[in-house]
Structure 1
Amino acid sequence: ACKTKNVITIDIGGTSADISVIQNGELRIKNPRDTEVASLPVLVPMIDIDAIGAGGGSIAYIDPGGAFRVGPRSAGADPGPACYDKGGTEPAVTDAQVVLGRLDPEHFLGGDLTIDAKLSHKAIEEHIAKPLGLSVTDAALGILKVINNNMALAINGNSVAKGIDPRNFSLMGFGGAGPLHAVALAEMIFAKDVVAPLHPGITAAMGLLITDLQYEFTRSVLLIANRATDAEFKDANRIIEELKAQARQQLLADGIPASKHRFTAIAECRYVGQGFELRAAMPQQPLSKKNVGTVIKSFYDHHRQVYGHAFEDQPVEIITLRVVGSAAVETLKLPVLRKGNRKNPAAAKLYTRPTIFDDGKSVATPRFDRGKLLAGDTITGPALIVQHNSTTLVPPSYSAHVLAHGDIRIAKR
């Protein structure tokens, strides 16, 4: 909906932050050899998502060595942050947001959950501010700096460390806490702008509902692409057709008509003697001496992106043939908003309150009801855009622009 093909995503909830990269509109897939669930190898294709212990419930504390830390220990939803008044006494990231005036008690979870700002203040004062000789405000800012640094390092690990330049990417922050942290994170990783999706708190669930049905089938081979014989290519093409037949049978068993089937062939390649492989795109036509160069070039390009170099004078070994069988499911139809093209629309403004930003300054900051914003509306920071399942922070010197389907793009003015 935001018409952006290069996106770094971060889903920040209460306990964890999940990070992934979409490049040229395609999700990055992990090598099955590297996939784990609960630290156990599962050897199945999975989207390349990294998770760290960072979220609204992450607890701030002073460790036995005197270091100021935030997470991975979490208050969870019960007892939750101190402000929930459910018995939690340790300060969490959410408490820092409350102390800084970025979460208003009457609009937290659309007013369905009452929070107590005094409890946030008390928890931060007792556990962080007094032990470190800081004001409560500086301690709250410190909590956010630590947690944001933790997340920025994890984002770089999933992007820069894998050959992705964040300067060419938008950062999409979602989950309940994502839009509160997104601009600060974008500044730290040098992303070009920020996207706050229409429903941040349920974006992951919406994605699940519109994800294509997909199966993958593989067969091990051993083929030196640069010097394969016609007989070897014939054998590889036979294997690909057999894998397509398996995928077709599975899709038909799921009740998907043949007209909706899509098949993509992938070669998993490496340099001869390497201990790991990378995916390379295969041509639509049967593999042959005439077109195998496209596979080799795809491998070189992928290797160069991931590792910064490619040895184009070295032979390439295909060790696995993979067929992806997929079918498009009925997609969620997002309504197009009525056009407003207004600047700081009074009809959407709720009230103005002091809010402390990352420079430590308190600024009178208007709140806007996201549900009353229209396509083309522009909000100039500082501002908070509130909705039931999230709050979007627009710092000073930034502007937020409402897109056709209600997503918000935030960029420096």
Structure 2
Amino acid sequence: MHTRRPDGFSRRRALQALVLAGAATALPKGFAVSPQARRLGVALVGLGGYSRDLLAPALQLTRHCRLAGIVTGSPDKVPAWQAEYGIPDSGVYSYDDMHRIADNPDIDVVYIVTPNHLHKPLTLAAANAGKHVWCEKPMAMDAGEAESMVRACRDNKVQLAIGYRMQHEPNTRRFMAMAQERPFGRIVQLRADAGWFGWRQGADDAWRLDPACGGGAMYDMGVYCVNAARYSTGLEPVAVRAWDETARRDIFAGVDETMRFTLEFPDDVIARCVTSFGRNLNTLHVDCERGWYELSPFQSYDGNVGRASDGTRFPAQLGERPRMQAEQMDQDALAILEGRSPRAPGEEGLRDMRVLDAVFASVRQGNERVRVAG
């Protein structure tokens, strides 16, 4: 990241305005809102690569929210962010003084984009400050933490939405509808694989090797598989069996490099899943009585495409990154403005955390079948 000069800052804003105006007609149906609706002020909590490269640029494309503040444990990052986005001193906070955000009327929502072990304490701080919360996945370290996050937001009468960006992607939403429509008959089984080969060595990602921070493939990528298996069937898993297949123990000491797991659903539906930091995996495939359909890739930042056994194609729809993140934040902002539940509320993240708890329990118990808590 580098500091931009004031003249570059102005040009950037002008170009973004032109891009947004030109893209408006291509936005999905239902994206528009009444002109009188105000834009919600969003504070990004955690200024790592995802915030820097995707969320902050996406906020410049949104119609219903705007970047109004930052919260960081790295004060050296602040000057560049202020120069890039014109954030005032009053919109800058540290993790330790984040409670002061309660006194800032320009900030309506905090978006928590930190290592996983900080999700719970920062969510509780934001909720107690009276701010709505958007939290990246995985929601927490375990289901107990997730329950306390849901409770804190409910008690403080603020919304909690989980950053399941795929649930805002049109092809994914079509698959969610097909779980109910059953165009190829009863769902028999599915496969959901999510992973990438090659470990990122940047400072932003070092925590992903630390078990105390929620590192490992299952937390990072496996959540995509769990969530996809649930939304593709419209069912909740009742049991799990899992195998830690980590090969490079010298690098992945204490965290999983590769996890293979099987989810059992009602109606004898089975989901077979693999997640990995050592393999390139990105497919969601659903087998039914009279055919099949799939997305591959199914969880990329853009270009998610698919096909079905009857020749149906699912072309990419949202455009290049960070359009997906802009859609996600706009839809979550609309849920707040319209007083309705977001597409992926805290309870959605909690259900996934119960599955993750069962996955890790199965591994600890020698790959035994473990029931998912209800």
Q: TM-score range by the shorter chain?
A: under 0.3
Higher RCO (CA-CA < 8 Å; seq separation 6+): 2
Instruction: Give the number of the structure whose residues are more often helix, by fraction.
Output: 2
What is the TM-score with the length of structure 1 in the denominator?
Answer: 0.20
Task: Return the index of the structure with the highest Cα Rg.
Answer: 1
